[in-house]
């Protein structure tokens, strides 16, 4: 049972049936101390459907026409409900963050849905944390270059894990394993061949703990190309 559902007594139902042709839903709601939506729903539920001519007339009466004066004309600054219920000028919600606060945001799914850290610089101004750290260290990001992560983890924003690269290099580095854009020097490409394309956590662990395996696979691929061209 829905405890929030508005209940109607038999007496209220009789009142609606006896007066729905003379009183509109708003007037019925005022008489019964209920909201207009609940009255309309109850009226339809108990079979008190309006005849077409009455329905059209009430709709016509509710329309505004060109030149008609609004009820609140000249009432600039009208306060309905009392000033005590309104927010004061400069009011900030309780969940407003402070300068220097760090939040994690998820990139668009078309860009891989990666997580990035953002830092609040000032009110309504946020900056990606790794960019902020790079600039705070007195370094610049030249035109045509982007700031990337050496280990491929966007949440690892320490300065030693950041490096500059061109957009082309970043595109090749982030290309899915096995695609035409994925270069042979891409560590995740080889890690994916061992542990599978979807096991990204295992790929990261392999790249971090066993880099020599990645290098061996690269060397093997290079030797294969040399032998192929020699023959």
Whether residue 177 has pLDDT greater than 70? no
Q: Which residue has the higher pLDDT, 186 or 7?
A: 7
Whole-number pLDDT of residue 54: 92
Q: Is residue 1 predicted with pLDDT exceeding 60?
A: no
> What pLDDT, on the 0 to 100 scale, is given for residue 53?
93
* Global pTM value: 0.43
β-bridge mates for residue 162, sequence order:
149
Task: Evaluate if residue 99 carries a pLDDT over 60.
Answer: yes
Please write the tens of the pLDDT for every residue from 180-214.
555 545 677 777 777 777 777 887 787 788 888 87
Rg of the chain, C-alpha, whole Å: 34
Mean pLDDT across 23-38 = 92
In this prediction, residue 231 has a pLDDT band, given cuts at 50, 70 and 90, of: low
Q: Return d(Cα 104, Cα 190) in angstroms, integer.
A: 29
Measured distance between the N- and C-terminal CA atoms of the chain, rounded to whole angstroms: 81
Shortest CA distance to 12 belongs to which of 21, 33, 104? 33
Mean pLDDT across the stretch 161-168?
88
Q: Give the pLDDT confidence of 215-224 residue by residue, as tens digits.
A: 787 777 777 7
Mean pLDDT for 45-53 is: 92
């Amino acid at each position: 049972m829905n405890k929030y559902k508005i209940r109607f007594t038999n007496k209220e139902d009789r009142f609606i049936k006896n007066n729905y042709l003379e009183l509109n839903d708003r007037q019925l709601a005022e008489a019964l101390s209920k909201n207009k939506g609940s009255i309309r729903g109850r009226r339809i539920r108990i079979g008190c459907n309006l005849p077409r001519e009455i329905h059209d007339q009430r709709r016509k009466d509710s329309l505004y026409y060109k030149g008609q004066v609004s009820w609140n004309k000249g009432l600039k600054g009208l306060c309905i409900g009392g000033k005590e219920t309104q927010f004061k000028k400069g009011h900030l919600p309780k969940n407003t963050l402070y300068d220097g606060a760090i939040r994690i945001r998820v990139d668009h799914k078309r860009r891989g849905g990666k997580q990035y850290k953002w830092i609040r610089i000032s009110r309504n101004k946020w900056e990606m944390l790794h960019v902020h750290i790079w600039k705070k260290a007195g370094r610049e990001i030249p035109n045509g270059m982007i700031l990337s992560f050496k280990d491929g983890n966007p949440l690892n924003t320490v300065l030693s894990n950041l490096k500059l690269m061109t957009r082309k290099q970043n595109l090749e580095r982030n290309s899915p394993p096995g695609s035409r854009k994925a270069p042979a020097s891409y560590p995740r490409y080889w890690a994916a061949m061992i542990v599978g394309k979807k096991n990204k956590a295992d790929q990261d662990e392999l790249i971090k703990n066993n880099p020599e395996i990645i290098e061996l696979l690269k060397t093997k691929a290079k030797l294969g190309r040399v032998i192929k061209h020699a023959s």
